[in-house]
């Protein structure tokens, strides 16, 4: 089963957070469905999020969480990205 890199954008007022997840799925459509189901529960305290294009809005639209991109990848490529993202290269 191929792996898919799912990019999710969370917006709260002027603050934007980007999240990256790896999903194993039969195809990109299934990966998007898995990610959408995941987003539905992104904010635990809101039991009834509002469906919006590509995701959900929480707390009366104070927070929106949407899928930004889904693309096929490998676990190695995804790990390399995470290592670069979370590695401090000083000087």
Q: Is 41 part of a structural domain of the chain?
A: yes
pLDDT attached to residue 89: 85
pLDDT averaged per 10 residues in sequence order, the chain, 91 residues: 97 95 97 96 90 95 96 97 91 78
pLDDT attached to residue 64: 96
Q: Is 90 part of a structural domain of the chain?
A: no
Tokens linked to 60: 């009366």
Q: Is 91 part of a structural domain of the chain?
A: no
**What is the number of structural domains in the chain?**
1
pLDDT attached to residue 45: 87
Q: Using CA atoms, how far apart are residues 36 and 38, in angstroms rounded to an integer?
A: 5
pLDDT attached to residue 30: 98
pLDDT attached to residue 11: 97
Q: Is 45 part of a structural domain of the chain?
A: yes
What domain range is 20 assigned to? 3-85
Buried b vs exposed e over 66-90: b needs ≥16 C-beta within 10 Å?
bbeebeebeeeebeeeeeeeeeeee
Q: Is 7 part of a structural domain of the chain?
A: yes
């Amino acid at each position: 089963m191929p792996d898919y890199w799912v990019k999710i954008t969370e917006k709260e007022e002027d603050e934007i957070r980007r999240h990256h997840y790896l999903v194993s799925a039969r195809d990109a459509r299934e990966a998007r469905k898995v990610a959408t189901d995941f987003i539905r529960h992104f904010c635990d305290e809101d039991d009834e999020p509002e469906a919006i294009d590509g995701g959900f809005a929480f707390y009366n639209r104070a927070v929106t969480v949407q899928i930004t991109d889904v693309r096929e990848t490998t676990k190695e490529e995804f790990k390399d990205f995470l290592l670069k993202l979370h590695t401090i290269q000083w000087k």
